[in-house]
Structures are given as C-alpha cells and as structure tokens.
Chain A
Amino acid sequence: EAEVAQSPRYKITEKSQAVAFWCDPISGHATLYWYRQILGQGPELLVQFQDESVVDDSQLPKDRFSAERLKGVDSTLKIQPAELGDSAMYLCASSVGSSYNSPLHFGNGTRLTVT
C-alpha cells in the first residue's frame, strides 16, 4: 500500500536555528496537510494545500513558520527561528479530496526537539 513519506524521522536543533521538514504524499492525492502534535494531545492542523495552493493556514504561526508545495506534489515545512515550544511531532497527511469525504493518510511524522 502506498504511503506518505516524511523526513527526517527525528530532528534535534537549538533554539533560534532554522529547521525544515519534507513530505511526499501518496501519488495522485491533491490535498496535503501539515499537523502539529504536542505530546499528550491530538494533532492540530497547521496548513492545508489543495494542489499547490494554500486553502487554510489560519493556525500557522506565520512569523516563524512557512510552508510550500511548489509543484503540487511534495511539500516543505520550515521553522525559523525555532523556539523551545516548537518541540512536537510534525505529521504530514494527504487525501484524494477534501477530508469530509476522503480519509486522511498519515506519514510517520518528524519528531522535533528544540534545546
């Protein structure tokens, strides 16, 4: 079964440094999501793409976070500068269409630790 690929699996960085995460969705999935999951909580949506366009980034801290999906396929999430509170699991997911009629398929995530 096709999977959502994410890298790296683990990242340790010092505060104020820049960090980037990469996601390759399942082939043919037009919708791509980035979620942040703080330990002990459920995932929270950071940004949603439909093809290469952002359709929801209302919860993305835009002063330090950026996301792009230039060719409508893979995506990069960047944090600059990283803060201690950014330590979390960053999950990428994809779906064929909008999520209420198309279930999300998640990658294994990138666990970020900011020291």
Chain B
Amino acid sequence: AQSVTQLGSHVSVSEGALVLLRCNYSSSVPPYLFWYVQYPNQGLQLLLKYTTGATLVKGINGFEAEFKKSETSFHLTKPSAHMSDAAEYFCAVIHTGANSKLTFGKGITLSVRP
C-alpha cells in the first residue's frame, strides 16, 4: 500500500518569503514522487518529479523538492514566494511495482500576502 500525508490544509506566506510545503509518504517499495499545482478551476500541472538518482529535484517556476528516504519526506520549497504562486499543491506517490497507481494527498492551499 502507498499513501501521502500533507499536514495542514492551508499555508500563508508573505511575498518574497520562503515557501515550504510538507509531504510525507508511505510505500513498501521504492516510490516515485510528484508535486502538482492546481490553479482555480483548472487541471493539475506537474511541478517536478523524483524517480531515481539525484535526491534534490528542480522543477518549474523556481520550485524544488528533496527526497529524504530516512525521513520518508518530499517537501516542496521555493526561496521567494510570488503572488502568482497562490494555488493548491498536491503531493503524489506511485510505487514501481506491478498494478501501481498514482495516489494523491489532500492538497495544501498556498496563499501569498502582498
């Protein structure tokens, strides 16, 4: 079985401040991990993904995430928030075994204050 936990449902930061969105995963086999962003009334857009290799992954719009196996975490960060980053962010996990399917967390809403 596999799952992701996104603690809290809402994060608010000031423009220019650090963004940190937390994601912890559970998987019995090596996972692939993803972060997606969803703007209001739109579909999900892939921000970044971890498959194998380098544990620090860089994505679009200045976001990055670090896979930490010892902590079973894949937290999303951005050094300086922009107003356009306000959206909902979903962490997702899939394992590399047979019959695997992508499992999403509940999502975190990011608000950016001027």
User: In the assembly, what is the distance between CA of A105 and CA of B34, in Å?
Assistant: 13
Are A100 and B104 within 8 A (Cβ)?
no
**With contact pairs A48-B101, A104-B102 given, residues A42 and B90 touching in the complex (Cβ less than 8 Å):** yes
Q: Which of A4, A40, A56, A103 contacts B43 (CB 8 A)?
A: A4
Are A111 and B41 within 8 A (Cβ)?
yes
Fill in one digit per residue for A80-111: 1 if any B CB lies within 8 Å of its CB, else 0.
Answer: 00000000000101000011110111111101
Count of chain B residues with Cβ under 8 Å from any Cβ of A?
25
- Is A45 interfacial (CB-CB < 8 Å)? yes
Q: Interface range on chain A: under 10, 10 to 19, 20 to 34, or 35 or more?
A: 20 to 34
Chain A positions near chain B (C-beta within 8 angstroms):
4, 6, 9, 40-45, 48, 56, 91, 93, 98-101, 103-109, 111
Task: Please name 25 pairs of A and B residues whose Cβ atoms are closer than 8 Å in the assembled complex, sorted by A.
Answer: A6-B43, A9-B41, A40-B106, A40-B107, A41-B106, A42-B107, A43-B44, A99-B94, A99-B100, A99-B101, A100-B32, A100-B94, A100-B100, A101-B32, A101-B51, A103-B34, A103-B46, A103-B49, A104-B102, A106-B44, A106-B45, A108-B43, A109-B41, A109-B42, A111-B41
Chain B positions near chain A (C-beta within 8 angstroms):
9, 32, 34, 36, 41-46, 49, 51, 90, 92, 94-96, 99-102, 104-107
